[in-house]
Structure 1
C-alpha cells in the first residue's frame, strides 16, 4: 500500500469534496484520495456517510430546467476537473449548502474561501483582493465565519467582517465598499442543522456559473496556494455596515407610512433587527414583533400572523426568511398574500409611475396562471424562466426589465438591489397601500389565484420519462382540455429522482383529477415505480 504523504487540512477537505462529487457523478474515486479524506476525523464522516448525505440532497443541487419543457440541460460527462454544467455541481442556484460540521465542515469552508479568493485574484487587476464577510448569528454561522475569514486571509485577501447580516445588507456593503468579493454564511429557515455559504462578485450579483466552476475545480484539485507570510491578508471589523443599508432602504419610501398598523413575525437575528428598525423609522406602527424559531418555516409564521393580525386589528402582517430575501403577507382579513400577488400589485404600481420597464414582469414557471391572466388584462407581458433566482435575474438583466418575482416571495427590483430583498419589497408594498388608501386585500384582489395541485412521482430516470412520448402526449391532451384557464407543468426534480407534476385549473377538482391522471401515466412509464407521493 502506498505510504501517504504529508497532507494539509485544505487537501483533506478537497479530498472529501472529490468523493462527494465523484459519487454524485458516478465516477471512480482513486484509492489515495479516499485514504486522504479518511484522515480527517476518522469514523465521523467516512466515505459512505458522505455518499449517503449527498444522495439525500443535503448539498444543494441546482433546480435547472428549460422554462418551456421542464427538461434539464444536457450534461458533459468527464472526469474532474472539468468545465461542468449545473448537474452534479457543488454550487446550487444560490450557494453551497450542507449539514453544519459534517459536509459543511470548517476545513471545507476554509478551503472554499481560499479557492474563491485565489480565483478572484487571478481575474482582477488589483494587487490584493478585498472581501466582505457577513454571517447569520448562531453556533454554526460563527464557527464557519472564522473558517471563511481564515481561508480568505491565508490566500492574501483583506477581509472586512460585517458581523450579523442578511444577504441584501451584505450585497449592499460589497457594492458600496468597492470590494472584489462578498461571502455570506446563512442558516436556511426551516432546515435544521443546515448552513449555506454564498458568494457574490464586485457588482453585487451572485458569481457567474463559470467562476463557480473555476472555484470547484481549484478546490477539488487543491490547486490554490497560501500567500507568503508577509502577504497574509488583514482582517478588520465593520460592525456599523448595516447603517448604510437601512438608510438605503428608507430612500425607497416616497412618503411616511404613518398610520399603518403591522404585525411582524420572522426568525431571530439580523433580519428581525433590520426589519423592526427600518419599518419603525419609515413610520409603521408595529403592533407586535414575533420571533420565530429557526426550525420553523414560513407556514408556521403565517399561521401565527393570521391570529395576531385579527387579534390586534392590524392592517397586515409580514413574515421574512432568515436571509432577508423573501417576504409573505397576511392581509387585514387574515388571508395570505403570496409572491405572485405581491408581484401583481408592484407591477401595477410601477406601471402607474411609468417605471415598469417594457411593460414586462419576469417570473418562474411555477408562478400561478392567475398572475399571467391578471397581467394580460392590464397590458403587462409576463416572461417566464426556470426555477431559481439566478434565472430570474439573468432574464431581468438581459431584457433590462425592472421587476421579477416568484410565488414564495422572492421579489427582485433591479433599480434598487442586485438580489431579492424582502424588506425592500415590504416597504414598497406598504407604500402602495398608503398612497392608494386601499387595503392590502383590495390591492391583492387584482389577481385571482387559480387552484394549483402538485404531485411528486418517484421514478428511476426522471429525464427519460419527462421526455417520453407517452408523457408528452398526455400533457398536450390535458392542456387542450384545460384551455386558457388552466395549464400543466411537468419537470424533473433538481436533486431527487422525482417528476414533479403541477396542474392549475379554474376548479380544484378539475386540477386534482388531471394531476392524478398525469401521475398515473408517469408512474406506468417504463422503469418507474408504481407508488405515488403527495407533493411537499
Structure 2
C-alpha cells in the first residue's frame, strides 16, 4: 500500500491549495478518526496542537469537524511546540495526536502530522491505511455518538514542567545570558518562560507572531537576527528554534553557529563517557557530515545512517533501542526525554553542559572539523521527474566518477517541497563546487517547461 498525500513529515503544502484545503483536512480527520476508533464503542480522544500560522485556525476547525463526526472527542491545545503534542497525547490518554504546522516553511504553507497513542509519529503503513480510508469513505458516527471538543488551557504549562525535568536535579542557569529566538512560532511563550524560571537572563526575539511572520528572517533556518542579538547584547549563547520548535541551532558567544551535527557530537561523546549512550551508537541521516562520522569513530561510537526525516531516525532508534539521534538540520531526538525532535530540550541540554563543564559555548560548539559540504536545491514543476531523465542520470554518474571515492554524493527529492536536493562532500572544494553545479544545471534544464 503506497502513500500519495503523506510525505516525510505528514501532509504539507500551500494553504488553501490542494492538498492543504479545509475540505481535505475534514476528510483526513474523519479517516484518521475511523482508523483509530475502528468499531470500538468506548470513548476515544484526539489531541490537536498548532503553530502560529493564520491558516491554523481553518485546519483546526476542519480537523475537529472530521474527528467529531466519527465519534472522537477532541482536546484543543492551541499554539504549542510539536514535541508537546508528542508528550501530551499519551499523557491525556488520547488515541491520536495531531500537529498543524509546516515546521520551518514560510507562513503560506501548512501541514498536518500525526502521532500515535504512544506519542511517536505514525509509520508509513499507518499513514497509507488512513489514505485508503479517505478514498473509500468512512461511515459517520450515530447522532448520539458524535464527539465533543474542548480547550486544554494548561498544555504549555504541562510541557514546560517536562522540559525543566529533563535537567539534572538542581541545575540553574543563573548568570547565563541567553538569546532565545522562537521564530515567531509555537514556542514564543513557553521557551522564554522556561529559561527565565531556570534563572537565565533572557533576550527574546521572534516572540511576536502575527499569523504571517513565522520563520520570516528569524529562527533556526535564518540565524542572522539571533547572531546580531548575541553580539549586540554580549550574550553567552543563542538558541534558535524553528516554527514548531522541533529544530534548534546553537550560537556561541562570538556569533558562530553550531548545526545539528555538532550538537549531536557533543551529546554523543558526553553520554558515551557516562556510559549512557545506548549501544554506543548515534543515529543520523544520510545528510550528516562525514566529519561527524570520523569524530564518532575516534571515540569508538558507531553511526547508523537513515534516509532523511526525523521519523526515520526515530524508527531506527526504537527498532534497536538507541537513545540519541537526529539530523544536521537541527532535529535532536533524545528518547530518554521525548518521542520526537525537541529543540528546547536540546537547547537546555547544551546549557546544562555549559553549567556542568564551566566552559563557554565556543568551547562546546565545535566538536569536529567539517568536511566541505555543498547543498543546492533546484525547484521543479509538479508532475515532472527530472531525476529519471538520461542527461541528469549521466551528470550524476560523471560526478561520481570524478569524486572517485574521495567524497560523497547524495541526490534526492525533498519530501516536503517540489525540490531536488543536490549534496556533495569533498576535501577538494573546487571539485566539490564543479560537480554540484554541473548536476544542478542538468536538473534545471530538465525541470524547465517545454517551449
Same fold (TM over 0.5): yes
Alpha-carbon separation, structure 1, partners of 2:136 and 2:146: 22
Partner of 2:121: helix, strand, or coil?
A: coil
Measured against aligned partners, the alpha-carbon deviations of 1:218-237 in whole angstroms (never above 9, x if no partner) come to 11222x01111111112222
Q: CA deviation at 1:334?
A: 0.8
The reply on whether 1:511 has 2:436 as its aligned counterpart is no
In structure 2, do the counterparts of structure 1 residues 90 and 497 end up closer, same or farther at CA, with 3 Å as the change threshold? closer
SS at match of 2:316: helix
Counterparts of residues 490-501 of structure 1 (less than 5 Å)? 490-494=411-415, 500-501=421-422
The answer as to 2:276 corresponding to 1:361 is no
CA drift of 1:144 comes to 1.7
Q: In the TM superposition, what whole-angstrom CA distance separates every residue of 1:24-68 from its partner, at most 9, and x where no partner exists?
A: xxxxxxxxxxxxxxxxxxxxxxxxxxxxxxxxxxxxxxxxxxxxx
Corresponding position of 2:17: 102
Gaps of 5+ in 2: none
- Per the alignment, residue 135 of structure 2 pairs with 220
Aligned to 2:317: 396
Aligned: 1:430 with 2:351: yes
Report the Cα offset of residue 490 of structure 1. 3.3
The 3-state SS of whatever aligns with 2:166 is coil
Shift of 1:102: 3.1
Residues 186 and 197, structure 1, Cα contact 8 Å, conserved in 2: yes
Q: 1:305 to 1:497 in 2, by over 3 A?
A: closer
What is the CA-CA distance between 1:387 and the residue it aligns to?
0.7
2:48 equivalent among 111, 115, 133 = 133
Aligned with residue 110 of structure 2, among 188, 195, 201: 195
- 2: distance between equivalents of 1:221 and 1:433? 55
Asked if the contact 2:184–2:206 (Cα under 8 Å) also holds between the matched residues in 1, the reply is: no
Gaps of 5+ in 1: 1-82
Shift of 1:244: 1.7
Q: Secondary structure at the match of 1:373?
A: helix
Q: 2:387 aligns with which of 462, 466, 469?
A: 462
CA distance in 2, matches of 1:531, 1:469: 12
Deviation at 1:493, TM superposition (A): 4.9
How large is the RMSD of aligned CA atoms in angstroms?
Answer: 2.6
Structure 1: how far apart are the matches of 2:341 and 2:416? 23
Partner of 1:242: 156
Say whether 1:296 aligns with 2:216: yes
Q: Which residue of 2 aligns with 1:262?
A: 178
Q: Name the CA shift for 1:498/1:291 in 2 (closer, same or farther; >3 Å).
A: closer
User: Is the 8 Å Cα contact of residues 129 and 157 (structure 1) preserved in structure 2?
Assistant: yes
What is the match of residue 240 of structure 2? 319
TM-superposed CA distance for 1:503, in Å, is 1.9
Partner Cα separation in structure 2 for residue 456 and residue 245 of structure 1:
35
Query: Given the alignment, which residue of 375, 379, 403 partners 1:478?
Result: 403
Q: Residue 170 in 1 paired to residue 91 in 2?
A: no
Task: State how far apart, in whole Å, the 1-side matches of 2:21 and 2:162 are.
Answer: 35
Q: Deviations over 1:322-356 (max 9, x none)?
A: 11100111111111111111111111121122111
Q: Which has the larger radius of gyration?
A: 1
The number of aligned residues is 436
TM-score, scaled to structure 2: 0.89
Q: State the distance in 2 between where 1:422 and 1:315 align.
A: 18
